[in-house]
Structures are given as structure tokens and as C-alpha cells.
Amino acid sequence: MIIISPSSPDPKIATTRPFSVLRCFAVLLPFFCLAPTAWTQDLSEGADIYATYCAQCHGPNLEGGQASSFMDGMWNYGSRGNLHRNNIKFGIPGTQMIAWGTVLSDPQIDAVHNFILEREKEMGVEPPPPAERSETEHYNLNVEVLAEGLEQPWGIEFLDDRTALFSEYPGRLRLLVDGHVDSRPIANTPRPATRPSGQTFGYMDVALHPNYSENGWIYLCYIDETPEIVGQEPNRRWSTRVVRGRIRNQTWVDEEVVYDPRPEDYTAVFDHFGARLLFDSEGMLHLSIGDRGRMLDSQSLARPEGKFHRMHDDGRPVAENPYNSMEKYGVLPTVHAYGTRNAQGMALHPETREVWASEHGPMGGDELNVVKTGANYGWPLATKGLDRDGTVQTPYKSLPGMVEPIHYWIPSPAVSGIEFSTSPLFPKWENDLLVGFLKHQQIVRVALHGHKVIKEEVILRESGRVREIKTGPDGALYVLIDRRGMILRLTPEA
């Protein structure tokens, strides 16, 4: 066990396509504003760099060849411009993507990146919609688009056989009724944090009380903001918060705070909030909170970041939590396990009743873990990946006393929501784990033998960024697509 004081400083499945020098950067993003002359020079230089280093594999017109084409609008290994550039500069561990930073300068990397994006724009390249059908080892899947154009749907729960409740990241709860989205958001829901522009953001997971049908409690996890005034300027700070409420007449009522951050838990770092909610078989609520970019705080039992928290349904710490007796030393009594980076998926094993979690690694090393009482999962002292700038985060892949992951992925697919398959529609997948990938834009079926992964299969590819997977009352799989703002319904062909 490691205790660091709150004042301590911050210190697959491989795709079946050939690996790409530039395919590793996932989405089209707005360009930075440049003067026309500088922009023209940038594109001209980028074209020359592409012709010299990229065209021999990707084709002179981005049409592909020895490596993949850029013409289908699908990108696999990144979600933001900084990730695009890092993947060019530092390469991608576990793939044939080399580190071009030894050959190209940062301005040259920007130039070729901008050239690719501009050429795609000129040619009208857009990400395709999901295929209507997906072939897998055991089933051919029908892929039905129930909704699109939503704003980053994040979590979903079924209230009854006809109705699901889902969250949208900008700060909305909405209903899906008989496969159709109700355009009216639930009224009177908590106000999440705001960006400097005034845009709200921050709704993450939703969960239902195990006795929801009797008590109606719905749990919501979101990013909360506490502005502090320093001089004349607000010094904005954020944290992860959990409340519960009920829905009556399309309105959020009876709100109660379940997990309330302390004033010192609000930090100015805007990164890695987590978060997932899960009730275990004993009715205890589990909450994952990311490291918030303050890596060493994951090892501090006095900080909420980088932890799995366990509490009663009303937020009281569980008596069996491992560090309750140390609360007088500043240790948080809700801590159940620690040393995690950013867990964005949790699911309850249908037979063993263990809590499983998926976790974002840094540059490589996304993990699958079983959450155990008092376990230390090592971050950032031990990791399978590099830091996000391509440097070595730590020389240690593992350390004594720190729990090894059940499984890890290199390169990082950006694991998100997970779901154990229990549907009678998919008997051949019984108790397999379905894992959503954000960067790889896939769903992977993970076959298990105990705690050992024995097989992985991509069952849905090129669908967009998969945020969450949930089994509906009808046995179908409901999938939230982050990037395209979609809800998909997957069923086997008759």
C-alpha cells in the first residue's frame, strides 16, 4: 500500500487492414487558422512530404496500395489532432507504424497531416454509415440504426420493456421509446460544468437501483464545476459527482447527492474524469474515477482520482472497504481499489459476480481487470504502455504487489463500455465479454476461460466510436456510438 499526501506534486485485435503511416489518427478536425500564404506553403510542403514518404504505400492519390486507402473516411488510431501528430511522431507500439519523428520535424509533421486532411476534404471523403450486416463466426448480425445525430450518447439503461434512458455528454437525459428517441430532454436535471464558451458538458454514466421497479431511483454521474474567484478572474475547477433522482412527467425530481466531492477534490486539470457506475450482486454501488491527468494521485489513498469507489446506494462507504480504519489519516473511506488510469467500462460477471473493468492505458497498454478489494493496479508506477508523448512513463511493466491485468491491448484501441453476453438470442456467446473500442471503432467479442482470454473476434467494425453496449429486454444488443451520435440495435439474422 502506498499513501501519498494530497499536496504531493503531479509528477485486438489488430485491424485486418494493412497498417498506415497516417491512418492512425482518427477523425477529421477543423484546421488551425493560418494566413493564406502560410497555409498554401504548408499544404505544398505537406504534399512533397507525402509524395516522398507516404505515396509509395498509400498511393499517390491516397487510393491505397501496399497500405490502406484514405478514401473511405475511416481512421483507427486516434481521436484528436494531438493524437494524430503523436502517432506520426512516435509511431504506434505493436504495429508496423514507425516513429517518423526521427526523420520529420514537428512543422513537417503538421504539414503532411494538414495535407491529408485537406485532400480528404477536397474529395468529399466522409466516414461511411455502419454496414447493415456484420458477419461473425457464429452469427450474421443485422445492424439497425435507431437514432443518429445525437450529441455523444454516453450511458444507457432500460427502465422497462419499451423504454430506455440515455445520457448525452453535453448535459441531457433522454428517452428511447419503442426504438424512437423522444426529442424532449428530461427537465430539471443537474447542470453540469461549462466550457469557457458557455457550452455545457459532462453527463457520463447512468445506472438504475437494483430495486428500481419499487423505488424508481436513477443514478447519474457527471462533471461538476466549482468556480473560485482569484482576483477578478474565475479559476475554474472540476470534479466527478454522482446524484440520484426519479423521473415523473418527463421531469427529474427528488434529487439526492450520492457522491459529493470535497472542495479539495475539484482540480483545474481537465482530463480523465472516468466514469462508470455499476451495482454489484450485493446492491453496492461501484464508481470509477479517472486519474484526472494527475498520475501519482492514483497511488494516493487520500485522493479520489484513479480509483474504484464502493458505497451503499445512498453513498455511505461500505464497512468492508479496505481503508475505513484509516479515515482519520485522510484516507477516503469509499476507496475499494486504486492505481488505475481511466476506467470507462464496468460489468458484472453473470456467474462469478465479479466486477470487471476496462481501462484506458497511455500510448499502448489498455487493460482488462477484475476489481478486487484493496488491489493496486500499478498506474503510473507500472504500465505496459508509453506516455502520451511517446516517452517512457516508467521502466516497469509490472511490480511486486501490484495486480497484473487479465488482458491488455497494444496498440491502445481506447477501450470503453463492456457487457457480458447473457442474451438468449446469442447462446453461443454465453458469458463472453463484449468490448467497445473508441479509436478502433469496433466491438470485440472476448471469449474467456476463467480469468484467461482464449479468443478475440471483431463482431462489428468501422461503426464509429463505440461508447457503450447494453443488452435490452428483447435480447438485442444496443450500442451507443460516440462519434456519429448513433444508437444501434444488433440482432442475429433469422
Question: Any idea which residues carry the catalytic annotation?
Answer: 272
Sheet with strand 133-135: strands edge to edge: 133-135, 140-147, 486-492, 477-481, 466-471
What is d(CA 204, CA 168) in angstroms, rounded to the nearest whole number?
7
What is d(CA 147, CA 66) in angstroms, rounded to the nearest whole number?
37
DSSP string, 180-192: EE-SSPPBTPPP-
Measured over the CA atoms of residue 97, residue 27, residue 346 and residue 372, the dihedral's sign is: positive
Query: Which contiguous run of DSSP H or E holds residue 242?
Result: strand 238-248
- Let me know the angle formed at the C-alpha of 143 by 141 and 146, rounded to the nearest 5 degrees: 150
**Residue 264 corresponds to which cell in the numbers above?**
479539495
Asked if 45 and 38 count as a contact pair (C-beta separation under 8 A), the reply is no
Nearest to 156 by CA among 131, 175, 178, 179: 175
The amino acid occupying position 483 is R
What is d(CA 372, CA 354) in angstroms, rounded to the nearest whole number?
8
DSSP string, 296-312: GGGG-TTS-TTEEEEE-
Q: Is 38 helix (H, G, I), strand (E, B) or coil?
A: helix
Measured over the CA atoms of residue 453, residue 459, residue 460 and residue 462, the dihedral's sign is: positive
Q: Is 112 helix (H, G, I), strand (E, B) or coil?
A: helix
Cα radius of gyration rounded to whole Å, the chain:
23
How large is the greatest C-alpha to C-alpha distance in the chain, in angstroms?
67
190 upstream amide cis, omega within 30 of 0? no
What is d(CA 267, CA 291) in angstroms, rounded to the nearest whole number?
11
What is d(CA 341, CA 305) in angstroms, rounded to the nearest whole number?
8
